[in-house]
Structure 1
Amino acid sequence: MPSSSCLRRIQSGLIALALSCVAVPALAQADRCPKLVAEAPARIIPAAFRLPAAPQEALFRLAAGASDEVTLNYIGHSTFLIETAGGVTVATDYNDYVHPDVVPRVATMNRAHSTHYSLNPDPGIEYVLKGWSDTPGQPARYDLDVGDLWVGNLATNTRDWEGGTTRNGNSIFVFRAADLCIAHLGHLHHTLTEDDIAALGRIDVVLAPVDGSYTLDVDGMVEVLRSLESPLVIPMHYFNETTLNAFLNRLGAREFVVERNASSTLSVSRESLPGKPTVIVLPQR
């Protein structure tokens, strides 16, 4: 009969073998956004209303790590200009029609329509990240560090014009900076699986398309937001107040707090994340 130590070695070997057979989504292996629970709730301060700190206060905040925040500027449609505390800028769904006034260091694109990508991006952009692969059916894969920013992605399927499915046609891009994980859902056409949720990990801020037709229907988008369990949701890809309100009215009042921001710019830090899931509407410029 094998000894107890021998049995333990056999058991450990079997466990290791089993784990090696488990498929782990690509985004999860970087482990950049582990599942965590946001701590003490605090208010989110619109950047336009921030008062300049005194030199002593600024020095204290820097020493305490409280100066780490990310600024989100809603340019319009699906495009945000994201800026990290270290000055790295990202334009999401960069295109030739709706884009920021500055040349971003990083641009992400999806290809559902021409308002989500550019065939001729500004040559001054250092990193142009397409949400699709040039090899049909294969996923685009990113694991990129730029200054104090990390960018990863999760490939998603899209509908084609004939009603079929294009596998891995677009991407959810995930940005991590200042210990915040921000997911831009792109032109999402389907709800997320348990594997998708596990791959995305902890998402603190969701930039969600809420048009209810070209992307997911309203019920589908609400299901996605519930599954992500993120403390902050910012709607995008809404064409008018009617489509926006159809989404807002579908949200459970007991589940989500809804706020409207006077400015298109919002500064967010880990300390400022709300304790209850909150939707903040940023006006389009």
Structure 2
Amino acid sequence: MTRFATVCLFALATVAMAFGAAPALAQADRCPKLVAKSPFLDALAPKAVPAAYVEPKHVNLTYIGHSTFLIETAGGVTVATDYNDYVRPDLTPRVATMNRAHLTHYSLNPDPRIEYVLKGWREDRDPVHYDMQVGDLWIGNLQTNIRDYTGGTILNGNSIFIFRAADICIAHLGHLHHTLTEQDLGALGRIDVVLAPVDGSYTLDVDGMIEVLKALQAPVVIPMHYFNQSTLDRFLGRFASSQYAIERREDPHLLLSRETLPAKPTVIVLPGSHY
């Protein structure tokens, strides 16, 4: 076993023990359960104006590019994932989530009008934990590790952000660098839509990503974080034999509801900018 592999295994074991003591998302508090009891908890907070009307019991998802999606709820909450200075939605979101891997996943100068800027890491590498209700949207996170440029491990360097609205749970895997443990999967609970990095090199390799996606068993997988068509096609070619249907859309918008989730697990490719 190489030194790098040993370091990675040791780091993962350390995090697993830490999760056992105080997991970022407790088994009893998985995504489907961490929802406010009352729709009026956030009634006094200022509301963002959605880019487009979203029907009740629906969530609108728009692929902006790279790892950035715009999530819009029927209640008018807007979220930009992996918010950065290169690829941004046209509107100012009410919530911005960020990860630390490199500058295409976070911003040094987020728009000051953003109400909630959620960093998926801490500079001291201690865990960061979100469990918050913003209007009709719940946001949580599960921390994972990332590699540094020397092959070492940065503990808690990435967050899988989870969003729930209209009884739809969306998981943004961020800059995921390793597979998930059974405890991770139990903490995440039911996931309906996975936003997955599929570059196969800077993040998790293709085989590892397929393992994660099969373990999550989400009805919808949306690829992100690929730099050209050949990279995407390589992932799709490997994933085509895994009982998933593949759909390529010409529109970057996807309107989601529990009633319209596909009966057969489906990879939906949305157009977006890549670099």
Which of the five TM-score ranges fits, normalised by the shorter chain?
Answer: 0.7 to 0.9
Q: Which amino acid in structure 2 is aligned with residue 30 of structure 1?
A: D
Partner of 1:217: 205
Partner of 2:32: 33
Q: 1:250 aligns with which of 238, 251, 261?
A: 238
Instruction: Give CA deviations for 1:239-267 in whole Å, capped at 9, x if unaligned.
Output: 11100000000014351000001100100
Alpha-carbon distance between aligned partners in 2 of 1:278 and 1:262, rounded to the nearest angstrom: 16
User: Which structure carries more relative contact order (alpha carbon 8 Å, separation 6+)?
Assistant: 1
> Which of the two has greater helix per residue?
1
CA offset at residue 23 of structure 1?
4.2
Partner of 1:123: 112
Instruction: Give CA deviations for 1:88-117 in whole Å, capped at 9, x if unaligned.
Output: 000000000001010000000001010000
Once the two structures are superposed, the pairs formed by residues 224-243 of structure 1 within 5 Å of their partners are 224-243=212-231
Structure 2: 5+ residue runs without aligned partners? Answer: 1-19, 34-52
Partner of 2:47: none
RMSD: 1.8
Partner of 1:9: none
**What is the aligned residue count?**
235
Where has structure 1 moved over 2 Å in runs of 4 or more? 22-26, 28-34
Q: Which amino acid in structure 1 is aligned with residue 250 of structure 2?
A: A
CA offset at residue 140 of structure 1?
1.1
Q: 1:279 aligns with which of 254, 267, 272?
A: 267
Q: Which amino acid in structure 2 is aligned with residue 112 of structure 1?
A: A
Alpha-carbon distance between aligned partners in 1 of 2:239 and 2:85, rounded to the nearest angstrom: 33
Alpha-carbon distance between aligned partners in 1 of 2:31 and 2:208, rounded to the nearest angstrom: 27
CA offset at residue 134 of structure 1?
3.0
Alpha-carbon distance between aligned partners in 2 of 1:23 and 1:275, rounded to the nearest angstrom: 37
Q: Secondary structure at the match of 1:220?
A: helix
Aligned-residue identity in percent: 69
Preserved CA contact (<8 Å) 1:209 1:235? yes
Alpha-carbon distance between aligned partners in 2 of 1:77 and 1:32, rounded to the nearest angstrom: 25
Partner of 1:110: 99
Alpha-carbon distance between aligned partners in 2 of 1:159 and 1:151, rounded to the nearest angstrom: 25
Alpha-carbon distance between aligned partners in 1 of 2:210 and 2:220, rounded to the nearest angstrom: 13
CA offset at residue 276 of structure 1?
1.2
Partner of 2:16: none
Instruction: Give CA deviations for 1:137-180 in whole Å, capped at 9, x if unaligned.
Output: x1110011000000000000000111011110110000000001
Partner of 1:12: none
Instruction: Give CA deviations for 1:174-211 in whole Å, capped at 9, x if unaligned.
Output: 00000010000000000101011001000000000000
Partner of 2:127: 139
CA offset at residue 128 of structure 1?
0.2
Structure number, greater radius of gyration: 1
Preserved CA contact (<8 Å) 1:30 1:143? no
Alpha-carbon distance between aligned partners in 2 of 1:200 and 1:24, rounded to the nearest angstrom: 14
Q: Do residues 164 (structure 1) and 134 (structure 2) align?
A: no
Q: Do residues 151 (structure 1) and 150 (structure 2) align?
A: no
Q: Which amino acid in structure 1 is aligned with residue 248 of structure 2?
A: R
Q: Secondary structure at the match of 2:208?
A: helix
CA offset at residue 275 of structure 1?
1.1
**TM-score normalised to the size of structure 2?**
0.82
Q: Secondary structure at the match of 1:186?
A: coil
**TM-score normalised to the size of structure 1?**
0.79
